[in-house]
A and B are shown apart, each in its own frame.
Chain A
């Protein structure tokens, strides 16, 4: 597997899962925080990817 995006998504999934379980006690809250973190990771990757698109100038 060498898709940068899939690896990024997999990494984000692991990190979000562990942090959500670590920081919240209720399963419902864990799913909410985990989803929020995963979405944040992926959205930020897209934004940073497009911001870096014109580089190097």
Chain B
């Protein structure tokens, strides 16, 4: 069976609301899962590799997984961005990675990689949602 590859080839019917919630949840936990769900394997596989790899690069660069400290609004926002990467965040926390080394030359680079990886996954989730709504 051929994979639908162009927007014109695809049907623009919207998915059920319950299905959409499930798709967005899957897309959050596993970057690209939402695209796989709707048969867009090329996009899904690129997100699945690129986004966790970007987050792990941040950890390798001695970046920090930010805690949810509501007394520090910027730290809390960075934490929200971090958790955007989904399962990789939970795995990194479970393995005690991402403690961050402030004195490392690459500390801020690491933070940037991790924050942006999470934020990009939010965009990927929204894209999957749009596909599910039949807008793309």
Please list the residues of chain A having a beta carbon within 8 angstroms of any beta carbon in chain B. Answer: 1-2, 7, 10-11, 14-15, 17-18, 21-22, 25-27
Q: Determine whether the beta carbon of B106 is less than 8 Å from that of A27.
A: no
Q: Is B79 engaged at the interface, CB distance under 8 Å to the other chain?
A: no
Please list the residues of chain B having a beta carbon within 8 angstroms of any beta carbon in chain A. Answer: 5-7, 42-43, 46-47, 50-51, 53-54, 57, 61, 105-106, 109, 112-113, 116-117, 120, 123-124, 127
Q: Determine whether the beta carbon of A21 is less than 8 Å from that of B116.
A: no
Specify the main secondary structure of chain A where it touches its partner.
helix
Task: Choose from A1, A7, A11 the contact partner of B116 (Cβ within 8 Å).
Answer: A11
Q: Determine whether the beta carbon of A26 is less than 8 Å from that of B6.
A: yes
Q: Determine whether the beta carbon of B113 is less than 8 Å from that of A11.
A: yes
Docked pose: A21 CA to B106 CA in angstroms: 28
Q: Determine whether the beta carbon of B120 is less than 8 Å from that of A18.
A: yes
- Known: A21-B47, A22-B123; 16 extra A-B contacts, CB below 8 A, are A1-B61, A2-B105, A2-B106, A7-B109, A11-B109, A11-B112, A14-B50, A14-B54, A14-B57, A17-B50, A18-B50, A18-B120, A18-B123, A21-B43, A25-B5, A25-B7
Contacts of A11 in B (CB 8 A): 109, 112-113, 116
Q: Determine whether the beta carbon of A18 is less than 8 Å from that of B124.
A: yes
Docked pose: A26 CA to B123 CA in angstroms: 19
